[in-house]
Amino acid sequence: MKIATVLGARPQFIKASVVSQAFAQAGLEEVIIHTGQHFDAKMSDIFFQDLDLPQPHHHLEIHSLNHGAMTGRMMERLEELLIADRPDWICVYGDTNSTLAGALVGAKLQIPIAHVEAGLRSYNRGMPEEINRVVTDHLSALLFAPTPLAVDCLQQEGISAGVHLVGDVMMDTVCRYREKAKTGSFILEHLNLETQPFYLVTIHRPANTDRRDRLEAILQSLTQLDHPVVFPLHPRTRGRIEAMDLTDYLAHPALRMTSPASYLDMLKLQATCQAVITDSGGVQKEAYMLRRPCFTLRQETEWRETIDSGWNQLVEPEDLPQKIRNFIPPVQWDSLYGEGNASGKIAEILLGG
């Protein structure tokens, strides 16, 4: 059985690392197609190195375009490759333009689609990711849901055939690599934070970076926290800071601005920080998996179980310092995302399909 895996962005490389290993162990042939959506070496190449992800068989090098142009060009190139390779399945991850392009081409070529991380809903159609995940779910033959809530969301939309509750493959990666991160990452030494408490921040979404007043409010609130702030800068965020003449914050003594972090470095930072501040979906989950408080600079989240558990809070920038000061960690922590064996279940189900 041949599976074409379509990847393009940092979170997908992380998820695919464990699933690709499970495919190989199950004897499934995999052809990896990298769309190029994330093209910076620290947002792409380093994950193939750190996580033993096989090198892509095809690299489309499509990036830095508006949503429509990017998705359209991806579809054009993917169609050529998939007609030539004719896989038995197309595997897509999450909710990026690469995900949508792979799903649309697969549907038109009548190649069945397997969607890893199916059923997530923020119910904010203003987010491009929400459109991508909804469309992909409705086109998929196999839907690998990470949580019972994701299964419920699919059922509410009339999707029940092909739905499998397998757990979250990011739990697999955390379980597999956190020990390696303890000894293989030297990020704390590099930042002189071996014994000092700190906060970890990731910000990249357009809602937080495309308006100067919003981005400045976030940066200002970070300077008011009681510990240093480690801030691995997404290339998009750095570009907005520079374009909006907010570059004074790049050298602010309270902010440790760094280049994008490797996965092992991020695991080390997340596991040892006082709290995580983010607008990323995946980072919210990883914070929970590592039992770190999380403060999400959004008005909604697709990972609602982290909110219900008390480990995650939705906050506005101006409220952030007080929310952090007043936070009391919950006593209870449940394994919301499985036991770290989701990738094996996915391979087994595909092999049976």
Same domain, 34 and 65: yes
Domain count, the chain: 2
Same domain, 84 and 126: yes
Return the pLDDT at 41: 52
Return the pLDDT at 352: 87
Does residue 59 form part of some domain?
A: yes
Q: Which residue has the tokens 């090198």?
A: 55
Residue 344, pLDDT > 90, answer yes
In this prediction, residue 272 has a pLDDT band, given cuts at 50, 70 and 90, of very high
Same domain, 189 and 236: yes
- The CATH number of the domain holding residue 289 is 3.40.50.2000
Among 58, 204, 234, 252, the one annotated catalytic: 204
Same domain, 45 and 22: yes
Return the pLDDT at 113: 98
pLDDT per position as a tens digit, 134-154 = 999 999 999 999 999 999 999
Residue 337, pLDDT > 70, answer yes
DSSP, residue by residue, 166-229: ---HHHHHHHHHHHHHHHH--HHHHTT-SSS--EEEE---HHHHSSHHHHHHHHHHHTTSSS-E
Q: What is the mean pLDDT of residues 216-233?
A: 97
Residue 275 lies in domain: 176-326
Same domain, 16 and 160: yes
Does residue 332 form part of some domain?
A: no
Inter-residue contact 131 to 329 (CB < 8 Å): no
**High-pLDDT (> 70) share of the chain, %:** 97
Does residue 80 form part of some domain?
A: yes
Same domain, 248 and 125: no
Identity at 68, one-letter amino acid code: G
Q: Which residue has the tokens 């509410």?
A: 156
Return the pLDDT at 212: 97
Same domain, 190 and 135: no
Rounded to a whole number of angstroms, the CA Rg of the chain reads 20
Burial of 55 (0-12, 13-18, 19+ CB in 10 A): exposed
C-alpha–C-alpha distance, residues 323 and 237, integer Å: 24
C-alpha–C-alpha distance, residues 340 and 307, integer Å: 21
C-alpha–C-alpha distance, residues 59 and 312, integer Å: 37
Same domain, 230 and 342: no
Inter-residue contact 209 to 231 (CB < 8 Å): no
Residue 27, pLDDT > 70, answer yes
Does residue 211 form part of some domain?
A: yes
C-alpha–C-alpha distance, residues 83 and 58, integer Å: 14
Instruction: Using DSSP bridges, classify how beta strands 294-296 and 113-116 pair: parallel, antiparallel or unpaired.
Output: unpaired
Helices (DSSP H) in the chain: which residue ranges? Answer: 10-25, 45-50, 67-85, 97-109, 128-139, 148-156, 169-184, 187-190, 206-209, 212-222, 235-243, 263-272, 281-289, 304-308, 320-326, 342-352
Return the pLDDT at 88: 97
- Of the listed ranges 53-57, 172-176, 197-201, 294-298, the least confidently predicted one is 53-57
Return the pLDDT at 37: 77
Same domain, 22 and 69: yes
Does residue 331 form part of some domain?
A: no
Inter-residue contact 312 to 294 (CB < 8 Å): yes
Inter-residue contact 208 to 240 (CB < 8 Å): no
Does residue 160 form part of some domain?
A: yes
Same domain, 144 and 205: no
Say how many residues make up the chain: 353
Q: What is the mean pLDDT of residues 321-342?
A: 95
Is residue 204 among the annotated active site residues? Answer: yes
C-alpha–C-alpha distance, residues 276 and 104, integer Å: 35
Q: What is the mean pLDDT of residues 87-113?
A: 97
What average pLDDT does the chain have? 94
In this prediction, residue 44 has a pLDDT band, given cuts at 50, 70 and 90, of low
Inter-residue contact 98 to 39 (CB < 8 Å): no
Same domain, 23 and 62: yes
Does residue 333 form part of some domain?
A: no
Return the pLDDT at 61: 87
pLDDT per position as a tens digit, 156-211 = 999 999 999 999 999 999 999 999 999 999 999 999 999 999 999 999 999 999 99
Same domain, 51 and 121: yes
In this prediction, residue 106 has a pLDDT band, given cuts at 50, 70 and 90, of very high
In this prediction, residue 65 has a pLDDT band, given cuts at 50, 70 and 90, of confident
Does residue 74 form part of some domain?
A: yes
Question: Whole-model pTM?
Answer: 0.91
